[in-house]
């Protein structure tokens, strides 16, 4: 409420307004008792029908895939996420910020008042451009940092550039991931194994190590782990291994950094509709029925996890560290 003219309001005006409000409230209560509902009531969404359900169209893209070419196109909160200033003045670096949960977090962070840098693979430039534009529309600083994070020198440079262009760093989201399904262990080549671990584990280690000197008490580190850390699929052996390692990295580092006032937490998604699935992360058979075996009967959308990333980054979650927050449509763990 605008209090700028508060001194000009008379006591009689206040009392009159209060009386009118009481009458209005009484009338409203009477109306509700009679069976009608107020027009200002907040609508409730049925989570089973809120977003698309399988079957989905068969589709594939070369790795790493683009959200803009998926059918249906994922919802990252482009129009639906509304901020309330919970991260005002904060400075965040998000890997894989072009699509999926990274994009949802980037949009949400900007609408909560944070300046945001996103790193992404150069092949994801079209998606990344959209995110950068959305961040700028919120009046926030937006930094694009393309490159392949399987390189240690690049990871160091990403952090250096983010700190320089943002003017500091106090939120790091390790979200970028590689997922390529293989039906047999015999089908996983050493090159595959190396690429998955370099993207999911080595890069997280390098980026976090480079970021630590810039983080101060009140800072937050968030990893995107997965239900695969707890309930691995038969055809995602190497990917599931990395997500389990990421979960333990989160819990171990939280103990190490807790005395320094730096919190470390994770988010463990279940089946979420992202380019990982259409660029080799799932078989076509599973893709067409993706998320259909969850209690909600559908895959999640990235925007449905955005508020979790915000909560873990926000100061009012100051006692949460070493935790992994799940969102799997009623299945999976934790």
The tokens of 97 are what? 């910020």
| Catalytic residue chosen out of the listed positions 81, 239, 309, 325 | 239
Task: Kindly report the backbone phi and psi dihedral angles of residue 115, in degrees, each rounded to the nearest multiple of 5, phi listed first.
Answer: -85, 140
Cα 113 to Cα 81: distance, rounded to the nearest angstrom: 13
Residue 81 annotated among the catalytic residues of the structure: no
Give the other-Cβ count within 10 Å of 226's Cβ: 32
Q: Angle 203-211/237-257 helices, nearest 10 degrees?
A: 20
Cα 228 to Cα 281: distance, rounded to the nearest angstrom: 13
Residue 137 CB partners (closer than 8 Å, separation 6+)? none
Cα 312 to Cα 324: distance, rounded to the nearest angstrom: 10
Cα 210 to Cα 62: distance, rounded to the nearest angstrom: 31
Is the bond into 109 cis (omega within 30 degrees of 0)? no
Sign (positive/negative) of CA torsion 96, 123, 197, 56? positive
Q: Kindly list the catalytic residues.
A: 239
């Amino acid at each position: 409420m605008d209090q700028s003219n508060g001194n000009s309001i008379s006591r009689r005006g206040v009392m009159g307004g209060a009386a009118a409000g009481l009458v209005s409230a009484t009338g409203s209560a009477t109306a509700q008792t009679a069976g009608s509902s107020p027009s200002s009531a907040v609508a409730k969404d049925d989570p089973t029908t809120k977003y698309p359900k399988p079957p989905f169209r068969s589709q594939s893209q070369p790795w790493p895939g683009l959200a803009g070419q998926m059918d249906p196109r994922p919802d990252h909160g482009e129009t639906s996420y509304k901020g309330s200033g919970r991260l005002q003045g904060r400075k965040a670096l998000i890997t894989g910020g072009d699509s999926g949960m990274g994009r949802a977090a980037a949009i949400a962070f900007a609408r909560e008042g944070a300046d945001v840098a996103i790193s992404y693979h150069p092949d994801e430039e079209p998606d990344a451009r959209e995110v950068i534009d959305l961040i700028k529309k919120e009046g926030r600083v937006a930094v694009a940092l393309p490159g392949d994070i399987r390189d240690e020198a690049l990871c160091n440079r990403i952090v250096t550039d983010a700190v320089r262009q943002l003017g500091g760093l106090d939120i790091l989201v390790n979200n970028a991931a590689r997922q390529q399904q293989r039906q047999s262990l015999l089908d996983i080549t050493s090159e595959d194994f190396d690429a998955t671990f370099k993207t999911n584990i080595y890069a997280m280690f390098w980026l976090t190590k480079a970021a630590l000197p810039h983080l101060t008490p009140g800072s937050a580190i968030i990893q995107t782990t997965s239900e695969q850390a707890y309930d691995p699929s038969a055809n995602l052996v190497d990917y599931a291994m990395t997500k389990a390692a990421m979960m333990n990295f989160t819990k171990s580092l939280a103990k190490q950094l807790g005395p320094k006032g730096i919190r470390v937490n994770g988010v463990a998604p279940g089946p979420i509709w992202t380019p990982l699935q259409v660029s080799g992360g799932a078989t076509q058979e599973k893709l067409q029925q993706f998320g259909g075996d969850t209690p909600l009967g559908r895959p999640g959308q990235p925007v449905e996890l955005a508020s979790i990333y915000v909560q873990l980054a926000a100061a009012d979650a100051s006692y949460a560290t070493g935790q992994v927050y799940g969102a799997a449509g009623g299945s999976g763990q934790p």
